[in-house]
Amino acid sequence: MVAQLGFPIFTTLTEGEKNISAAATPEAIGSGAIKRIIITAKEANTGTIWVKSTVTNNTLGRPLLPLQAETLEISNLNLIFLKATVNGEGVTFLAFS
């Protein structure tokens, strides 16, 4: 559904967090249909979180330092992968659908 001014109308807001257990091993942020997501690197992180579109282990993607955020319009959480440079670090997110 689209509002008159062309802005999408969301009916659900989901909060979440994802910690990456093994540094350098990309993990899916989750699964489920969404329309938009705001991903924010946790404030306590000491390394970089990479937002990626694949599970490949490289440095392609969008790097996030602590408290940096990225907004994506995407159809499912399982299309977003995260890679950390430090074990156990992660992100929080708001997913809109």
Domains and CATH numbers, the chain: 13-96 (2.60.120.10)
Residue 65 has a pLDDT of 98
What is the model's pTM?
0.88
Q: What are phi and psi of 77, to 5 degrees?
A: -60, -30
In our burial notation (b when 16+ CB lie closer than 10 A, e otherwise), range 42-55 reads: beebebbbbbbeee
Q: What are phi and psi of 31, to 5 degrees?
A: -150, 150
Lowest mean pLDDT among 32-36, 41-45, 52-56, 61-65: 52-56
Share of the chain above pLDDT 70, in %: 91
8 A C-beta contact, residue 66 and residue 91: no
8 A C-beta contact, residue 64 and residue 70: yes
* CA of residue 48 relative to chain centroid, distance: 13
8 A C-beta contact, residue 82 and residue 51: yes
How confident is the prediction for the chain on average, in pLDDT? 91
Residue 5 has a pLDDT of 65
